[in-house]
Amino acid sequence: MNIGTIAQKSGVPAKTIRYYESIGLIPSASRRPNGYRDFDQDDLQTLRFIQHARGLGFAVKDVADLLALWREKKRASADVKALAMRHLESIDRKIAELGTMRRAVEHLVHRCHGDHRPECPILEDLAGDINHA
């Protein structure tokens, strides 16, 4: 299977597959006599796994760990769960951070007339008057 084919089937762009190979996330694909990479069903499985994990927001480093656990038949599910829970916490931190920003920005937007006049509480607040919630 050529890289274009597996890219299509896995949803991972060819460019990204080469990148994953270069950083060692996936093993180096075997080569045909003409130099083209040749992928098999196993590679497809792996790339789909990666695609799903990335889709859930796991960092590439974490995906590498998940892949290792996936291949390790004697893993303890507690290890997988711990990794996933750390990820969940990091998602929660990001959501909280964005929520704080969101409230602040929304507050500013609310107070700005948004017309042709130059007076604008958004700019005033950014300039330093952060005392009138």
Partner DNA sequence: ATGTGGCTTCCAGTCATGGGAAGGTCAAGG
Partner DNA sequence: CCTTGACCTTCCCATGACTGGAAGCCACAT
| Closer by beta carbon to a copy of itself, 35 or else 73 | 73
User: Is residue 24 part of the contact set for DNA (CB under 7 A)?
Assistant: no
Hey, which residues between 42 and 71 contact DNA (CB under 7 A)? 54, 59-61
Binding segment for DNA (CB under 7 A), chosen from 13-21, 66-74, 77-85, 122-130, is 13-21
- Whichever of 23 and 101 has its CB closer to a copy of itself, that residue is 101
- Cα separation, 39 vs 44, in Å, equals 7
43 closest CA partner among 6, 96, 13, 4:
6
The span of 1-9, 16-24, 29-37, 49-57 binding a copy of itself (CB under 8 A) equals: 49-57
Q: Is 99 a residue that touches a copy of itself (CB under 8 A)?
A: yes
H or E stretch covering 31: strand 30-31
H helical segments located in the chain:
3-10, 14-22, 41-55, 60-71, 77-111, 121-126
Lookup: tokens for 38: 């040749």
Quick check: 4 binds DNA (CB under 7 A)?
A: yes
Judge whether 18 and 29 are in contact, CB under 8 Å. Answer: no
Q: 16 contacts which partner out of DNA, a copy of itself, none, CB within 5 to 8 A by kind?
A: DNA
